[in-house]
């Protein structure tokens, strides 16, 4: 298995000889306004891609979209995406994705198969209380193929019962978490904080944790430096990888 961070939550996954793109946010820097009801009021994305969007979208065998918030599927990605390749998603998003031109949308109720690659859907909570209800639904996915590490992409969720169940049921070898502690002006964080990343690492002591979703959207307030500092304090630097944009992630 190969894994590479492009930017934010956008990942390229190589599994069983196939190349899949996860949650493509490919707009140029500053293309969109700040997320409503957040600070600091900076235009998004905050930074450019490490390579042209056309290159990111090249040579793809499949797409995976955890949910339809614009920082996980934006207009540039929709415009450039190959519409005939399979696209896996949560069932609630199937109609919208077909309306946006994708011809082979494959909603995952529980589990799907991609020529020997198992794709299982997991739950999550995009925050707490009424905010989580307003932002729902969100999903994560576990990709597994014979002879390769099992990869759990948790998606936009805080640490919660659904994440614990996914870790217990699937026992992944690699866990990608969306960190950054994103939040609105009011309310609790809506993605994982450093505390949550530590909790995932403690819950899955045999897994490699990969923390992404930082320094690209204005309301992700915890930086890579913040997370590195916490990981050093917890003695977890060897178990949690915090990649830079464009970096291949050693597995």
Domains, the chain: 2-241 (3.60.15.10)
Closest CA to 182 of 216, 210, 209: 216
In the numeric block, the tokens 């298995």 are attached to: 1
Q: DSSP 3-state assignment of 250?
A: coil
Tens-place pLDDT, residues 168-184: 999 999 999 999 999 99
On average, the pLDDT of the chain sits at: 98
**Can you tell me the mean pLDDT for 26-33?**
98
C-alpha closest to that of 162 among 136, 193, 180: 136
Q: What whole-number distance in Å separates Cα of residue 227 and Cα of residue 234? A: 11
- Write out pLDDT tens, residues 183-193: 999 999 999 99
Per-residue model confidence as pLDDT tens digits over 69-82: 999 999 999 999 99
The pLDDT value given to residue 202? 98
Does the model's pTM come out above 0.85?
A: yes
Average pLDDT over residues 55-62: 98
Is residue 251 over pLDDT 90?
no
Summarised one tens digit per residue, pLDDT across range 193-231 is 999 999 999 999 999 999 999 999 999 999 999 999 999
* Average pLDDT of the segment spanning 232-248: 97
Query: Residue 1 is encoded by which pair of tokens?
Result: 């298995």
Percentage of the chain modeled with pLDDT above 90: 99
Residue 91 pLDDT grade (very low, low, confident, very high; cuts 50, 70, 90):
very high
Q: What is the Cα–Cα distance from 128 to 26, expressed in whole angstroms?
A: 28
Where would I find the beta strands (DSSP E) of the chain? 2-7, 10-15, 18-22, 62-64, 87-89, 105-107, 111-114, 117-122, 140-144, 151-153, 174-178, 208-212, 240-241
Q: What is the pLDDT of residue 211?
A: 98
23: pLDDT strictly greater than 90? yes
Q: Mean of the pLDDT values across residues 79-99?
A: 98
Quote the pLDDT of residue 226. 98
Residue 25 confidence (pLDDT): 98
DSSP notation for 183-209: --SSSS-SS--HHHHHHHHHH-TTSEE
Could you check whether the bond before residue 94 is cis, i.e. omega within 30 degrees of 0? no
């Amino acid at each position: 298995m190969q894994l590479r961070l492009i930017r934010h939550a956008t990942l390229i996954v190589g599994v069983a000889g196939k190349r899949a793109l996860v949650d493509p946010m490919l707009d140029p820097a500053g293309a969109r306004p700040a997320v409503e009801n957040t600070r600091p009021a900076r235009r998004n994305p905050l930074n450019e891609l490490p390579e042209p969007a056309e290159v990111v979208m090249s040579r793809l065998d499949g797409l995976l979209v955890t949910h339809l918030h614009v920082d996980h599927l934006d207009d540039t990605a929709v415009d450039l995406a190959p519409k005939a390749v399979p696209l896996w998603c949560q069932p609630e998003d199937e109609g919208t994705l077909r309306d946006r031109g994708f011809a082979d949308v494959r909603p995952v109720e529980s589990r799907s198969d991609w020529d020997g690659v198992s794709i299982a859907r997991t739950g999550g909570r995009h925050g707490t209380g009424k905010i989580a209800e307003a932002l729902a639904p969100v999903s994560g996915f576990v990709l597994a193929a014979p002879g390769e590490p099992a990869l759990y992409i948790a998606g936009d969720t805080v640490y919660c019962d659904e994440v614990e169940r996914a870790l217990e049921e699937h026992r992944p070898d690699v866990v990608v978490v969306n960190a950054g502690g994103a939040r609105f002006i009011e309310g609790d964080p809506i993605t994982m904080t450093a505390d949550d990343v530590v909790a995932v690492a403690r819950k899955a002591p045999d897994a490699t944790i990969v923390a992404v979703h930082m320094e690209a959207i204005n309301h992700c307030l915890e930086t890579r430096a913040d997370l590195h500092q916490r990981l050093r304090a917890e003695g977890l630097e060897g178990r949690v990888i915090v990649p830079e944009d464009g970096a291949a992630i050693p597995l």
